[in-house]
Amino acid sequence: MPAPDDFSSYIGELLRGSYDCVDRIVLRAYYPMGQTSGGFLLWGERVLRIEIIVNNVQELRCGKRLEKLPAMRERLEQMVVRFLAVVQCAHLSFVDGRQLDRLSLPTIRGNHRLAGVDLQKPRLRAVAEAVIALAPQPDGFTAEELATRVRTQQGRTMAKYNARKAAYDLRKLRGKALVQRIAKTRRYRVRRPGIRTLAALFILREKVLKPVLAGVCRPKRGRPPKTIHPLDLHYQTLQRQMLSTLQHLKLAA
């Protein structure tokens, strides 16, 4: 049996009794000043630590015996690093004008011509949203898992979306280098540039264009609220400027 590392020695001192395997791992580092659900430990708006809990050790695929504890820890560390990489890419999302124009153009892969990625279409928008949600999975995801995620998120509107349609949409995303297939498997992984691009497009559409245009077309009447969120102030400024621009272009009365 290999010599235990410092982590195993520390954990061993906390164990009492006789054990030969591990069924569940709970590794937590509580900070008394602030904790939120979902595995994040916060101080104000700053993340201090991320927790990870394993309810079924078998899913780690590295054994259950105590001597496998260092391998379990390494596996969990990889999962956390992958998750943080996805969060960082989504937080620092970016898309340029040329890339936006190229997404909707067809792609040639070998002898096959694939349609472009048009996020104005509800189906592809739902697929892209599900892909971002599945991005943190350490082992990637399958077409069936993508289809299940789409149906779960969209409900009845995408009830007939199946693995075959998901595989076709994944080919389109691969054509734009947003998603890559894991070698010698039927699993897929979202590339970091792909996360940045898809997250940026969603933020632009859902957090910028929709609320700004909605305010321009249907301005609110009545007294303004006493307390206005700073983001709402930015929306109001953008709406006034957008309305002025549309009036200058003769697109609004």
Question: Would you say domain 97-197 falls under CATH 1.10.860?
Answer: no
Instruction: Measure the CA angle with vertex 125, ends 157 and 201; round to 5°.
Output: 150
Return the C-alpha torsion angle 172, 175, 179, 185, nearest 10: 90
Q: How many CA atoms lie within 13 A of 162 on its CB side?
A: 2
Task: Compute and round to an integer the Cα radius of gyration of the chain.
Answer: 24
Q: Residue 12's CB: how many other CB atoms inside 10 A?
A: 12
Could you read off the pLDDT of 190-239 as tens digits, one per residue? Answer: 988 888 888 888 888 887 777 777 776 666 677 777 787 777 788 778 77
The burial class, CB within 10 Å (0-12 / 13-18 / 19+), for 133 is: middle
Could you read off the pLDDT of 34-79 as tens digits, one per residue? Answer: 334 445 544 445 555 677 777 777 777 788 787 888 888 888 888 8
Q: Residue 180's CB: how many other CB atoms inside 10 A?
A: 14
The 3-class SS string of 97-157 reads HHHHHHHCCCEEECCEEECCCCCCCHHHHHHHHHHHHHCCCCCCECHHHHHHHHHHHHHHH
Which pLDDT value is given to residue 182? Answer: 93
CB 131 within 8 A of CB 179: yes
Could you read off the pLDDT of 112-169 as tens digits, one per residue? Answer: 788 888 888 889 999 999 998 898 888 899 999 999 999 999 988 899 999 999 999 9
Task: List the chain domain ranges.
Answer: 6-70, 97-197, 219-248
With left for phi above 0 and alpha for psi between -120 and 50, is residue 118 left, alpha or beta? beta
Which pLDDT value is given to residue 152? Answer: 93
User: Distance between CA atoms of 96 and 71, rounded to whole angstroms?
Assistant: 41
More confident residue, 72 or 24: 72
pTM score of the predicted model: 0.68
Task: Name the residue type at position 2.
Answer: P
More confident residue, 176 or 112: 176
Which pLDDT value is given to residue 102? Answer: 84
